[in-house]
Amino acid sequence: MKKVVVIGAGPAGMMAAATAANRGLDVTLIEKNHRVGRKILITGKGRCNITNDCDIEELIENVPTNGKFLYSAFYTFTNTDVIDMFNKLGVETKTERGKRVFPLSDKAHDVANALEKMIKNQKVKLLLNTKVEKIVSKGSKIEKVILDNKKEILCDSVIIATGGLSYPLTGSTGDGYKFAKNLGHSIVDTKPSLIGIEVQESFVKDLEKLSLRNIEISVYNSKNKKIYDDFGELEFTRYGVDGPVIKSASCRMKDTTKENYKIV
């Protein structure tokens, strides 16, 4: 039986591990945190926006960069498949404004628990509080994974599902980039996306924690050309603005070091 090691027990890692195990492979899932799906627990303000109930073409249109890359993935396992999967795992769902899909309970931990149930059902070996130090290969063949306690796990292949650099407190500390680079992959310089935005105006400090619903924003570049608009929720912070509409807008702002943007 071929042995597969999956590094990272977020939603991608758990899905990959369960799928591989379902195909008859011997799967070990390694997570450096004390539990699986830590980032899931903070998504959607603790509610977890599972997917969006629009058609596939609309999903791809809303990916700011290279959406066409996702055609195969989205059509192989659709957003409808995602909803059906969670329903079968015992998570009832609901669809809200903007066709956003949430668990009916409004509890993100129900989503994390369902994915954990899925990997257990598939007999995936789960190692928590375990950190990978290195992936060892010989030529183009993966040989083993070395843990930080120097123990070794022999395997035929490795799936890196460690996340990026988005939230170090949840475990996303860029480990995957290091592993991939050591295996010979080229790494594109990372930059933030889907984040809050710092603004020049100082008055936002006086509005900290003020949340607005059902508002519309428009984003203009330095040439005063509108590059994005959205409708939804916004929150003021001590440094600027945040919330769903702001996070969506942030990934349209390509290089804030070279260009100024205006939000109205």
Summarize pLDDT for 172-200 with one digit per residue, the tens.
899 999 999 999 999 988 888 888 999 99
Same structural domain, 33 and 144: yes
Give the residue-averaged pLDDT of 79-101: 96
Tens digit of each residue's pLDDT (9 = 90 or more) over 90-99: 999 999 988 9
Give the residue-averaged pLDDT of 49-76: 92
What's the total number of domains in the chain?
Answer: 3
| CA dist., res. 249 & res. 194, Å (int) | 8
- If phi over 0 gives left and psi between -120 and 50 gives alpha, with beta otherwise, what is residue 256? alpha
Give the distance, in angstroms, between the CA of residue 1 and the centroid of all CA atoms in the same chain. Answer: 31
Same structural domain, 207 and 245: yes
Same structural domain, 38 and 145: yes
Instruction: Decide which of 190, 224, 251 is a domain's last residue.
Output: 190
Measuring CA to CA, which residue among 188, 167, 185, 172 is closest to residue 7? 172
The predicted structure's pLDDT at residue 143: 97
Instruction: Decide which of 133, 167, 190 is a domain's last residue.
Output: 190
pLDDT band per the 50, 70, 90 thresholds, residue 45:
confident
Give the residue-averaged pLDDT of 144-152: 96
pLDDT higher than 80, residue 257: no
Same structural domain, 88 and 58: yes
* Cβ-based neighbours of 78, under 8 Å, separated by 6 or more: 56
Give the residue-averaged pLDDT of 1-11: 96
pLDDT higher than 80, residue 20: yes
Same structural domain, 56 and 183: no
How many Cα neighbours within 13 Å face the side chain of 41?
A: 12
Instruction: Decide which of 190, 207, 228 is a domain's last residue.
Output: 190
The predicted structure's pLDDT at residue 98: 86
Same structural domain, 135 and 177: yes
Q: What percent of the chain has pLDDT over 70?
A: 99
Residues in the chain: 264
Identify residue 149 by its one-letter amino acid code. Answer: N
Mean pLDDT across the chain: 93
Contact between 114 and 89 under an 8 Å Cβ cutoff? The reply is yes
The predicted structure's pLDDT at residue 58: 94
Contact between 25 and 4 under an 8 Å Cβ cutoff? The reply is yes
Same structural domain, 41 and 53: no
| CA dist., res. 147 & res. 232, Å (int) | 44
Tens digit of each residue's pLDDT (9 = 90 or more) over 106-131: 999 999 999 999 999 999 999 999 99
Same structural domain, 55 and 89: yes
pLDDT band per the 50, 70, 90 thresholds, residue 4:
very high
Indicate the burial class of 123 (C-beta count within 10 angstroms; 0-12, 13-18, 19 or more): exposed
Contact between 172 and 39 under an 8 Å Cβ cutoff? The reply is yes
Domain housing 92: 49-103
Which of 26-40, 56-70, 163-177, 186-200 is the most confident on average? 26-40
171 or 118: which leads in pLDDT: 118
Identify residue 132 by its one-letter amino acid code. Answer: V
Same structural domain, 226 and 253: yes
The predicted structure's pLDDT at residue 1: 81
Same structural domain, 117 and 181: yes
Measuring CA to CA, which residue among 63, 62, 95, 59 is closest to residue 78? 59
pLDDT band per the 50, 70, 90 thresholds, residue 3:
very high
Beta-bridge partners for 220: 226, 262
Kindly report whether the global pTM for this prediction surpasses the value 0.95: no
Same structural domain, 132 and 221: no
Same structural domain, 121 and 85: no
Element at 220 (helix H, strand E): strand 211-220
Give the residue-averaged pLDDT of 141-146: 97
Paired tokens of 83: 């909803």
